[in-house]
């Protein structure tokens, strides 16, 4: 790994003048650990690694909810946890692989250098407890329950000096190898080892070509948060920095967005504050699971209701196409673009007919066409096919953000109304504001006394 170390470190951590702080590295030095209170939920010990843990949790839920035969999706044996986690990690590695001919890279500990087996680490740990003999019944090192800081003394520099890269060519070999490394993923620095595996499988140059600002690291070395490029890489396989559909041009510069429907989705509180606009490829994924972004954290909202992600209805397609001509999300377009919108939707677009539609949709000659009247004109009374109410769940991996500091799913019921009904107003929480960017008139009834936290 030595020749790649500098490039990987620069890409992930940037080049902070004072180096990566001990506390930031420590926050990222955890493994993938399942909650004892919720057997299909991963636990996050401190802020930061949610940028990797939340996407892995979203894909893991997809596999548990929709690819597993067991009826009780919240119950898993230890062996089932192992299979679920490893198949999820393999799936993400497969999605980022640019070319199967180059193979897949797995970053692990160099032989004998794992924190559990390193002589130096063991010596340091024993110096604290020299008078305490090791109990005969203790588990072998690789079977120990992983902790947030299995080797606290493993610093940033030392971590990067004991890494080993191995390459596998076939998907079958990848899955077998990932499975064999289960205890590595669960142990100290498992999250970082997986992240580095993703980066080297994707290719450093490929990632740099997709990131908008190559000077922006994947992990903020000051606050420890993952970038949008990192989240997009894990969700879609592409490290683009934007969340809109397709590419856009700004002052002659090409800004890359999302190019196809994602398996799991992404919604952000930033859209409710009008800082950005998430496109349909992330808003309407293949499975009803969405990563929710706040200013500082990522959590997951999900349901088993597949009708939420059914094929795009004609009115939904029309809304998406109309909004693609309205990048600033004004809710209207200049009337000069009406013909282009109608052509894009395969509507009759003869000049005479377009003129007639303009006069109907803009009777006051304001020179704009509003989205609402446009949809009513061409797609009236369209049923979305979504049930009136359905069970929903929210996951937040941080213990301190959960009731009684136990990482558990918060259950609730969602009501998606076609209009705002003043008789059914529940709350105005960040979770709800985030979800309203997809369902403007959603109401949420949680089974707990307090609404789940986005942070």
DSSP-H helix ranges across 106-170: 119-128, 156-161
Cα four-point dihedral sign 323, 327, 333, 337: negative
Annotation says 50 is catalytic: yes
* Marked catalytic residue, from 116, 225, 297, 394: 297
Q: What is the DSSP string of 53-116?
A: HHHHHHHHHHHHHHS---S-TT---HHHHHHHHHHHHHHHHHHH-S-GGG-EEEEEEPTT-STT
Contacts with 160 (C-beta within 8 Å, 6 or more apart), sequence order: 1, 5, 9
For tokens 């006394």, the residue is: 449
Q: List the one residue out of 35, 32, 28, 27 whose CA is nearest residue 403.
A: 35
Residue 299 backbone class (left: φ over 0; alpha: ψ -120 to 50; beta: rest): beta
- Name 220's Cβ contacts closer than 8 Å, sequence gap at least 6: 226, 227
Q: Bridge partners of 250?
A: 253
Token pair, residue 204, equals: 């450093």
- CA-based end-to-end distance of the chain: 36
Q: Is there a contact between 395 and 57 (Cβ–Cβ < 8 Å)?
A: yes
The residues assigned a catalytic role are 50, 297
């Amino acid at each position: 790994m030595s020749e790649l170390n500098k490039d990987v470190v620069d890409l992930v951590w940037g080049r902070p003048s004072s180096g990566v702080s001990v506390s930031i590295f420590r926050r990222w030095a955890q493994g993938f650990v399942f909650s004892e209170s919720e057997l299909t939920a991963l636990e996050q010990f401190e802020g930061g690694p949610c940028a990797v843990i939340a996407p892995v949790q979203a894909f893991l839920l997809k596999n548990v909810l929709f690819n597993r035969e067991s009826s009780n999706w919240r119950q898993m044996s230890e062996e089932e946890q192992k299979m679920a986690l490893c198949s999820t990690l393999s799936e993400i590695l497969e999605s980022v692989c640019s070319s199967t001919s180059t193979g897949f890279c797995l970053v692990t500990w160099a032989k004998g250098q794992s924190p559990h087996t390193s002589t130096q680490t063991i010596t340091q740990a024993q110096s604290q407890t020299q008078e305490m003999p090791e109990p005969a019944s203790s588990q072998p090192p690789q079977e120990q329950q992983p902790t947030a800081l299995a080797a606290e003394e493993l610093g940033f520099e030392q971590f990067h000096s004991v890494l080993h890269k191995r390459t596998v060519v076939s998907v079958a070999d990848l899955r077998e190898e990932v499975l064999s490394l289960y205890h590595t993923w669960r142990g100290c620095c498992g999250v970082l080892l997986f992240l580095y595996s993703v980066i080297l499988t994707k290719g450093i140059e490929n990632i740099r070509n997709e990131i908008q600002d190559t000077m922006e690291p994947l992990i903020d070395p000051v606050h420890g948060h993952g970038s949008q490029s990192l989240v997009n890489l894990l969700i879609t396989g592409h490290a683009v920095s934007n969340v809109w559909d397709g590419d856009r041009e700004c002052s002659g510069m090409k800004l890359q967005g999302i190019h196809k429907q994602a398996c799991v989705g992404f919604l952000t509180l930033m859209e409710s504050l009008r800082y950005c606009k998430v496109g349909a490829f992330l808003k309407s994924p293949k499975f009803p699971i969405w990563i929710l972004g706040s200013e500082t954290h990522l959590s997951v909202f999900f349901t088993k209701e597949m009708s939420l992600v059914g094929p795009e209805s004609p009115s939904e397609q029309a809304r998406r196409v109309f909004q693609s001509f309205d990048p600033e999300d004004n809710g209207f377009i200049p009337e000069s673009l009406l013909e282009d919108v109608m052509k894009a939707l395969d509507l009759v677009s003869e000049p005479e007919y377009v003129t007639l539609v303009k006069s109907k949709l803009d009777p006051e000659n304001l020179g704009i066409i509003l989205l609402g009247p446009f949809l009513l004109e061409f797609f009236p009374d369209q049923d979305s096919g979504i049930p009136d109410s359905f069970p929903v769940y929210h996951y937040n991996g941080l213990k301190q953000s959960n009731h009684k500091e136990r990482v558990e799913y918060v259950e609730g019921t969602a009501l998606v109304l076609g209009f705002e009904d003043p008789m059914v107003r529940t709350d105005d929480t960040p979770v709800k504001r985030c979800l309203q960017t997809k369902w403007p008139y959603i109401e949420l009834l949680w089974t707990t006394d307090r609404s789940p936290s986005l942070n």
